C-alpha cells in the first residue's frame, strides 16, 4: 500500500470512529499530530478478539451466541444510522471488554454515506472473502447496509457452529458458493436459528431481511436488552485535517501567540446581520447557539476569569492561545455540553468575547453563559454597542 493510500485510509478510519460513540464500538478519545507522527488514543479493550474465543472454545452456547449477535446488530444499526458502513465485519474485528461485552473495531475499510455514487450504491469491492456478500463480488455496486448485514449472518453461523458456512481452498469455488448461498446447517441448529440465517444469508439483497425485521425476530428478541447511551450528533471533524497538515502550527507542542486575533470593522460587519452591529451584542439572545460581549479587561484576565467561572460548574478546560474549549463532565439531556470561547482584539484596549455552543443542549448553554457573564462583571462593561470612537480606532 502506498503512503498516500495509507494516509487516506487512516484519515477515513479516524473520521468514522469520531462519528460513532456507542457502547458496542471501540471508542476514539483523542487525536494529536506532530510534523512526523499521528497519535490516536483509543479505548483500552482487554478481552481480546472474539475470533480467539471461537478458536479456543469452539461453538458457543445458544445464549452466549445470541448475546454477541444482539450486541453486534446494535452496533451495526447505529453505525448505519450515522451513515457509516463497516465493510469488513468478522470475528477478528470484534473485541471483548473486561465484562465480556462485544466491541466492533477496525474501520479501516469503512465507507461513509458521502462515498455513495449517483446510483445510490458503493462500488469498491473489499472485505474478507469468507464474510463478503455476493453482491460485492459481482462488481455492479451494492448497498453498504445490506452487505454488512450478510457479514453479520456469517458471524452468527460461526458463533453457533464453530466453523464457516462458506469455505473452500479454491477462491472461485468459494465465490460460487457465496453467490448461491450454498451452505449446510449442522444438526444442532434449531428451526428458529435456521429460519433467521436463511433470511440473512439471502443472496438477493433486495429480499434480504433488514435490521428492523431482525429486531422483531422471535429467536433474536429472547433476553434482548436495547443499548442505553448518550447520543452525540454535533461531532466536529475539523481537527482531523489539522493533525495531518505538515506544518509547525499543528505540532503537539504549539507556539503560543502573544496577542489575541485582531478583528477589523469589515470582519465585524460580516458577522452581523446586514450593517446593523447592534445584534452582535443583543442582550436577548435566548435559544441562540452563540453570544458575544465586549470588555476593556486585558485578554489574559478575561481568559482567567472564564476559567475561574467554569471550573465550579464542572467543566473540563482546554486552552490554546486565546481560545478555550469547555466540556461539562456531567452529561445533560443532550449529552455533554461543549462550549467554545475565543477572545478577539477590536482595539488596543477593547476585546470582544465570543461564546459558542459546540454541542449539547441550547437551553443549558444559555443558562451557563448567563452565569458566566455575571461572574465576569459584564454589567460594568458598558460597551455593548460600538460607538463612533470604537469604529475609528
- The pLDDT tens digits of the residues spanning 370-388 come to 555 444 544 333 333 333 3
Using the predicted structure, report yes or no on whether residue 106 has a pLDDT greater than 50.
yes
- Give the whole-angstrom CA distance, residue 173 versus residue 91: 23
- Which sign, positive or negative, has the C-alpha torsion 56, 57, 62, 67? negative
Q: What percent of the chain has pLDDT over 70?
A: 73
Which pLDDT belongs to residue 300?
Answer: 85
Neighbours of 212 (CB within 10 A): 8
Distance (Å, whole) CA 120 – CA 145:
12
Which tens digit of pLDDT belongs to each residue from 197-244? 999 999 999 999 999 999 999 999 999 988 887 665 455 555 555 555
Return the pLDDT at 69: 98
Residues ≥6 apart with Cβ < 8 Å to 262 = 344, 345
Closest to 166 measured CA to CA, from 193, 139, 134: 134
Respond yes or no: is residue 239 known to be catalytic: no
More confident residue, 134 or 11: 134
Mapped onto helix, strand or coil, the DSSP state of residue 212 is helix
Domains delineated in the chain: 3-221 (1.10.510.10), 258-392 (3.30.310.80)
What is the pTM (predicted TM-score) of this model?
0.59
3-state helix, strand, coil in the chain (%, to 5): 40, 20, 40
Contact 311, 326 (CB under 8 A): no
Among 300, 315, 296, which residue's Cα sits nearest to residue 377? Answer: 296
Taking CA atoms, 309 is separated from 5, 289, 300, in Å, by 46, 19, 14
CA distance linking residue 353 with residue 355, whole number of Å:
6
Predicted local distance difference test score (pLDDT) of residue 223: 94
Average per-residue pLDDT for the chain: 79
Segment 312-332 shows an average pLDDT of 82
**Which of 77, 88, 143, 148 does the annotation list as catalytic?**
88
Confidence of residue 255 (pLDDT cuts 50, 70, 90): very low
pLDDT tier for residue 276 given thresholds of 50, 70 and 90: very low
Cβ 158 vs Cβ 164: under 8 Å: yes
Amino acid at each position: 500500500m502506498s503512503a498516500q493510500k495509507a494516509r487516506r485510509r487512516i484519515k477515513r478510519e479516524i473520521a468514522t470512529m469520531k462519528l460513532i460513540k456507542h457502547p458496542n464500538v471501540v471508542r476514539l478519545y483523542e487525536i494529536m499530530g506532530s510534523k512526523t507522527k499521528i497519535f490516536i488514543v483509543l479505548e483500552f479493550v482487554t478481552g481480546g478478539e472474539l475470533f480467539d474465543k471461537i478458536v479456543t472454545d469452539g461453538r458457543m452456547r445458544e445464549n452466549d451466541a445470541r448475546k454477541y449477535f444482539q450486541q453486534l446488530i446494535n452496533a451495526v444499526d447505529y453505525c448505519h444510522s450515522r451513515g457509516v458502513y463497516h465493510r469488513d465485519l468478522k470475528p477478528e474485528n470484534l473485541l471483548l471488554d473486561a465484562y465480556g461485552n462485544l466491541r466492533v473495531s477496525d474501520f479501516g475499510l469503512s465507507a461513509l454515506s458521502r462515498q455513495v455514487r449517483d446510483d445510490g450504491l458503493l462500488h469498491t469491492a473489499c472485505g474478507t472473502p469468507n464474510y463478503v456478500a455476493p453482491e460485492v463480488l459481482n462488481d455492479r455496486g451494492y448497498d453498504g447496509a445490506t452487505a454488512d448485514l450478510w457479514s453479520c449472518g456469517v458471524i452468527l453461523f460461526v458463533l453457533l457452529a464453530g466453523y464457516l458456512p462458506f469455505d473452500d481452498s479454491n477462491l472461485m469455488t468459494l465465490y460460487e458458493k457465496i453467490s448461491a448461498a450454498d451452505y449446510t446447517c449442522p444438526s444442532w441448529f434449531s428451526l428458529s436459528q435456521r429460519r433467521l440465517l436463511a433470511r440473512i444469508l439471502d443472496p438477493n439483497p433486495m429480499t434480504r431481511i433488514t435490521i428492523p425485521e431482525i429486531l422483531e425476530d422471535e429467536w433474536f428478541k429472547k433476553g434482548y436488552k436495547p443499548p442505553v447511551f448518550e447520543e452525540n450528533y454535533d461531532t466536529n471533524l475539523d481537527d482531523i485535517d489539522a493533525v495531518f497538515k505538515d506544518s509547525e502550527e499543528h505540532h503537539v507542542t504549539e507556539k503560543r501567540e502573544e496577542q489575541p486575533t485582531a478583528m477589523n470593522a469589515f470582519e465585524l460587519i460580516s458577522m452581523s446581520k446586514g450593517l446593523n452591529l447592534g445584534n452582535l451584542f443583543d442582550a436577548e439572545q435566548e435559544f441562540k447557539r452563540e453570544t458575544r460581549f465586549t470588555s476593556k479587561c486585558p485578554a489574559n484576565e478575561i481568559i482567567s476569569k472564564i476559567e475561574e467561572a467554569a471550573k465550579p460548574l464542572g467543566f473540563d478546560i482546554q486552552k490554546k492561545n486565546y481560545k478555550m474549549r469547555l466540556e461539562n463532565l456531567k452529561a445533560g439531556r443532550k449529552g455533554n455540553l461543549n462550549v467554545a470561547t475565543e477572545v478577539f482584539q477590536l482595539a488596543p484596549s477593547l476585546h470582544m468575547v465570543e461564546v459558542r455552543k459546540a454541542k449539547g443542549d441550547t437551553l443549558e448553554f444559555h443558562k451557563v453563559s448567563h452565569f458566566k457573564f455575571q461572574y465576569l462583571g459584564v454589567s460594568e462593561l458598558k460597551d455593548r454597542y460600538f460607538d463612533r470612537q470604537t469604529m475609528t480606532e
